[in-house]
Structure 1
Amino acid sequence: MPFAPALHSEWLKIRTLPSLAAGPAAVVLVTAAFTALAGLDESAGADSDPLFASLFGVVLGQIAAVTFGAQAVSAEFRGGALRLSLSAVPHRGRWFAAKALAVGASALAAGLLAGCASLAVGWAVPGSRAGGPNWGEGLRGVVGCGVYMALMALFAAGLTALLRSGVMTLSILVPFLLVVSFVIGGVSGTAADYLPDKAGQVVLHSTSDGALGPWTGLAVTAVWAAAALAAGAWSVRRRDA
């Protein structure tokens, strides 16, 4: 099967399977909802980063993104689905590339919508700090949100293909994102700046005290995602379906 039909079939899976179709929607809803809740927190100081304050929901919205990426791949390892997929697309590398592109494009679209919704909520909520970011910062934040969500979904997809288990992937990534990131969140100028989530989230801040800028931070996250996808592709090509 050529690449285009393989990609179309993977897109149909995401669009028609309820558990997968709900993933991109959850990215948007969770991100916007937690941005609104953060905006209502009057205890935050007026000197808070205005861009990050308007996109704060990304901190929890990324959990929906990695869950979507993990589920999209782990579904293939249940009930012999992978054997059926490889029967239609015997070239394993082509199939995995189509899967990754479908996941990444879906997460990118959801991330862009989440960024727009979160920014709008951040501007509208009465408790917004510092009057919100300017239009230039807002545009950068929305684009960065979309790219970041796509990269985190692909990171989870590659790790799931390597581990062959969505549960195992989420048991690693969710505690890491929710615990480790908060513990080291205030530490800059160290190796922690190069962790996938901390590096990628630099684009969501107006300024950064660390070693990375907005786009170099996303580039570091892209390297993590590419490494996970490469490992996942190796696993798919070398191990039995």
Structure 2
Amino acid sequence: MAATQVIRSEWTKIRSVASTVWTLSLTAVVTIALGMLLSALSKHEFGNMHPQDRASFDPTYVSFAGMGLGQLAMIVFAVLVVSNEYSTGMIRTSLAAVPQRGAFLASKVAVAAGLALVVGMVTSFASFFLGQAMLGSLGTSLGEPGVLRAVVGGGLYMTLIAMFSMGVTVMLRSPMLSLGILMPFFFLISNILGNVSATKKVGRFLPDQAGSRIMQVVPRVADDTPYGPWGGLGIMLLWVIAALAGGFVLLRNRDA
């Protein structure tokens, strides 16, 4: 089967499953709405903040406050894109039609990542503009140093989250097991490891902790992170490559 046919087939699969469409929509709605809410609350509480917190106040990053919750919906989307075929048994038909398993996986990831990139970029720019509207005089603009990089980085971050989740799901195959590992990891474990002093130096090299650095413009006070915004995104990209490589090796070497 030609590459264009494989890609068209993967696009049809994703488009025809209502749950994948809904999770992408939920990603945008949750991220934007929560970002607006927390931006409005930040403006209201700014006068009561500790002087140190005011000095490191980052209006761009505040507008992305919904990313943490919105990325969970993006994870669900990525898991469903891969696991739906295993759940229904269609994976056998798909691999029979596309016996080159590398081409099969690459097409699936390319289509899903393309959708995630579009939704991620729209969500990131909308979160920024609406968040700045809520912040009012405390807000910033795209023309300020580092701001455009952070906004574009927000879309790239969401895309990489989806790709990493797809790689993990290809390895695990089960939607329940994949969600049971990815959800607690990103929502709880990573945050704990990144904020506890004993594990902080390890936690900041986890994919979401490193990748989210791209969305920060104003440095935190006494921040000793050994990499910058693009370095953090690079670390996240390495995690994605490792997850997809692991998925490909297992997909190639085991039965459907």
TM range (shorter): over 0.9
Match of 2:99 in 1: 90
Alpha-carbon distance, 1:163 to partner: 0.6
1: CA distance, partners of 2:136 / 2:73: 24
Match of 1:178 in 2: 187
Residues 71-125 of structure 1: CA distance to partner in whole angstroms, max 9, x if unpaired? 1001110121101111221111110110111111111111101101101110112
2: CA distance, partners of 1:26 / 1:236: 30
Give the conservation status (yes or no) of the 8 Å contact 1:193–1:212.
no
Give the conservation status (yes or no) of the 8 Å contact 2:157–2:233.
yes
2: CA distance, partners of 1:24 / 1:148: 15
Alpha-carbon distance, 1:59 to partner: 1.3
Alpha-carbon distance, 1:232 to partner: 0.8
Structure 1 window deviating more from structure 2 (57-66 vs 127-136): it is: 127-136
Match of 2:78 in 1: 69
2: CA distance, partners of 1:187 / 1:142: 28
* 1:191 partner letter: V
Match of 2:231 in 1: 216
Give the conservation status (yes or no) of the 8 Å contact 1:144–1:203.
yes
Match of 1:115 in 2: 124
Structure 1 window deviating more from structure 2 (47-56 vs 228-237): it is: 47-56
Residues 1:132 and 2:140 are matched in the alignment: yes
**Identity of counterpart residues, as a percentage?**
37
Match of 1:233 in 2: 248
Residues 1:190 and 2:201 are matched in the alignment: yes
Match of 1:12 in 2: 12
Question: Residue 40 and residue 213 in structure 1: after superposition, are their counterparts in 2 closer, same or farther (change >3 A)?
Answer: same
Alpha-carbon distance, 1:185 to partner: 4.2
Question: Residue 233 and residue 108 in structure 1: after superposition, are their counterparts in 2 closer, same or farther (change >3 A)?
Answer: same
Residues 30-57 of structure 1: CA distance to partner in whole angstroms, max 9, x if unpaired? 1101101212323353442211111111
**Residue segments in structure 2 that go unaligned for 5+ positions in a row:** none
* 1:204 partner letter: M
Structure 1 window deviating more from structure 2 (184-193 vs 65-74): it is: 184-193
Question: Residue 15 and residue 128 in structure 1: after superposition, are their counterparts in 2 closer, same or farther (change >3 A)?
Answer: farther
* 2:99 partner letter: P
* Secondary structure of 2:204's aligned partner: helix
Match of 1:150 in 2: 159
Q: TM-score, normalised by structure 1?
A: 0.92
* Secondary structure of 2:148's aligned partner: helix
* 2:87 partner letter: R
1:197-212 maps to which residues of 2 (within 5 A)? 197-208=208-219, 209=223, 210-212=225-227
2: CA distance, partners of 1:184 / 1:132: 31
Structure 1 window deviating more from structure 2 (155-164 vs 86-95): it is: 86-95
Give the conservation status (yes or no) of the 8 Å contact 2:190–2:203.
no
- Structural RMSD (CA): 1.9
**Residue segments in structure 1 that go unaligned for 5+ positions in a row:** none
Question: Residue 92 and residue 68 in structure 1: after superposition, are their counterparts in 2 closer, same or farther (change >3 A)?
Answer: same
Alpha-carbon distance, 1:129 to partner: 7.7
* Count of matched residue positions in the alignment of Structure 1 and Structure 2: 240
Q: TM-score, normalised by structure 2?
A: 0.87
* Secondary structure of 1:236's aligned partner: helix
Give the conservation status (yes or no) of the 8 Å contact 2:193–2:202.
no
Give the conservation status (yes or no) of the 8 Å contact 2:7–2:111.
yes
Match of 1:43 in 2: 45
* Secondary structure of 1:78's aligned partner: helix
